[in-house]
């Protein structure tokens, strides 16, 4: 027996929910055929098998929360969600993450992002990591949320702290004390903005903080600054970062090295972030990177016992 061209393992309610969600995402010409949903978006025809959908969608019954279905479809297809979905804090609260950005990020549609200055040409923003692409937090969402930017930033830092914890921060072999954390699906550059969450001992009064950089979206490198610890760790974190980073796609923030030091001054972070000047030199087919001299570097070397 040949099965119907509209046959699907999904319930009718599930098929209707998928159709409605795709319509919310701007898709057209939506129809079910041979166990798949067919639709068009941006002039492209797409076929999505119902076997790729989460199990909870397959048997969903009314009342249906279409936003949740749209988020699930975005995660499967990579299609952009409508910004209106982020108006509901309960839908996105667990997906808020801090993001470190520089002034060059404020162009095009991204210029509407909410941000707070936390250092020289360094800003704290919030990324809403929902669906396949995600969204920057803007005032359009904050106007509808029951919390302000600072409260949302605290939530974002807590989420990042869960992603990067002491259990996932490990010392690199032969790295002279350099630590690394890895994650998939979360840009760890935002970890620069909540270092005290997962390295609290290095931000107590009298401590000297850490050197930190995020050369790739899924990596953050850390070097706790210990009195008399020597300069080998500085060379190591610079060289490892340079080895991992792809300058062709790296953001400006990913190219930088920061010295995060605890402070009693009021601020968004609770510590300062001083950028250390990293110089990359190309020599034929090779390259090397080093930290250039500056007032901050001189202070760092004194702490490390390299100079009086």
The C-alpha atoms of residue 48 and residue 25 are separated, in whole angstroms, by: 15
pLDDT at residue number 160: 94
Residue 250 lies in a domain: yes
Residue 103 lies in a domain: yes
Task: Name the β-bridge partners of 260.
Answer: 210, 273
Residue 44 lies in a domain: yes
Number of domains in the chain: 3
Last residue of a domain, one of 145, 161, 177: 161
Residue 5 lies in a domain: no
Dig out the tokens for 182 from the structure. 């890895």
| Sole residue written with tokens 């639709």 | 39
Whether residue 171 sits in one domain with residue 157:
no
Which of 64, 66, 63, 69 is closest to 50 using CA atoms?
69
pLDDT at residue number 295: 83
Dig out the tokens for 40 from the structure. 């068009």
pLDDT at residue number 166: 67
Whether residue 150 sits in one domain with residue 189:
no
Q: Are 188 and 98 in contact (CB under 8 A)?
A: no
Last residue of a domain, one of 129, 161, 193: 161
Whether residue 281 sits in one domain with residue 211:
yes
pLDDT at residue number 287: 64
Contacts of 277 (CB under 8 A, 6+ apart): 291, 292, 294, 297
Whether residue 126 sits in one domain with residue 171:
no
Whether residue 280 sits in one domain with residue 151:
no
Whether residue 298 sits in one domain with residue 169:
yes
Distances (CA, A) of 226 to 28, 41, 230, 237: 59, 55, 8, 15
Residue 169 lies in a domain: yes
Give Dmax (Cα) for the chain. 88
Tell me if residue 239 falls in helix, strand or coil.
helix
Whether residue 201 sits in one domain with residue 286:
yes
Whether residue 275 sits in one domain with residue 179:
yes
Domain region containing 103: 89-161
Bridge pairing between strands 44-49 and 122-128: unpaired
Whether residue 299 sits in one domain with residue 172:
yes
Return averaged pLDDT per consecutive 10 residues of the chain, 308 residues in all.
54 92 94 92 92 89 90 93 92 95 84 90 94 91 94 95 83 92 90 92 92 94 93 91 89 92 84 86 65 82 84
Last residue of a domain, one of 161, 176, 200: 161
Residue 308 lies in a domain: no
Whether residue 147 sits in one domain with residue 96:
yes
The C-alpha atoms of residue 177 and residue 236 are separated, in whole angstroms, by: 9
pTM: 0.87
Residue 261 lies in a domain: yes
Whether residue 102 sits in one domain with residue 72:
no
Q: Are 212 and 175 in contact (CB under 8 A)?
A: no
Whether residue 297 sits in one domain with residue 180:
yes
Residue 6 lies in a domain: no
């Amino acid at each position: 027996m040949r099965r119907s061209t509209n046959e699907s393992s999904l319930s009718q309610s599930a098929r209707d929910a998928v159709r409605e969600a795709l319509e919310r995402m701007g898709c057209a010409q939506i129809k079910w055929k041979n166990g798949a949903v067919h639709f068009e978006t941006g002039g492209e025809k797409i076929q999505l098998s119902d076997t790729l959908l989460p199990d909870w969608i397959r048997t969903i019954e009314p009342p249906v929360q279409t936003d949740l279905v749209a988020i699930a479809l975005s995660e499967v297809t990579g299609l952009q969600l409508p910004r209106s979905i982020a108006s509901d804090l309960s839908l996105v609260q667990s997906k808020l993450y801090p993001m470190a950005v520089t002034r060059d990020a404020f162009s095009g549609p991204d210029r509407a992002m909410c941000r707070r200055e936390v250092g020289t040409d360094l800003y704290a923003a919030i990324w809403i990591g929902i669906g396949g692409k995600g969204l920057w937090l803007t005032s359009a969402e904050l106007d509808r949320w029951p919390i302000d930017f600072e409260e949302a930033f605290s939530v974002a830092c807590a989420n990042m702290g869960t992603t990067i914890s002491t259990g996932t921060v490990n010392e690199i072999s032969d790295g002279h004390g350099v630590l690394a954390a890895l994650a998939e699906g979360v840009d760890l550059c935002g970890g620069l903005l909540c270092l005290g969450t997962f390295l609290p001992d290095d931000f107590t009064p009298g401590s000297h903080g850490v050197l930190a950089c995020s050369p790739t979206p899924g990596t953050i490198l850390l070097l706790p600054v210990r009195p008399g610890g020597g300069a080998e760790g500085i060379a190591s974190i610079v060289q490892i970062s340079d080895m991992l980073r792809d300058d062709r796609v790296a953001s400006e923030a990913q190219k930088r090295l920061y010295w995060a030091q605890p402070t009693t001054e009021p601020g968004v972070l609770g510590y300062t972030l001083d950028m250390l000047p990293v110089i990359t030199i190309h020599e034929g087919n090779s390259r090397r990177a080093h930290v250039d001299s500056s007032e901050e570097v001189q202070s760092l070397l004194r702490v490390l016992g390299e100079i009086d």
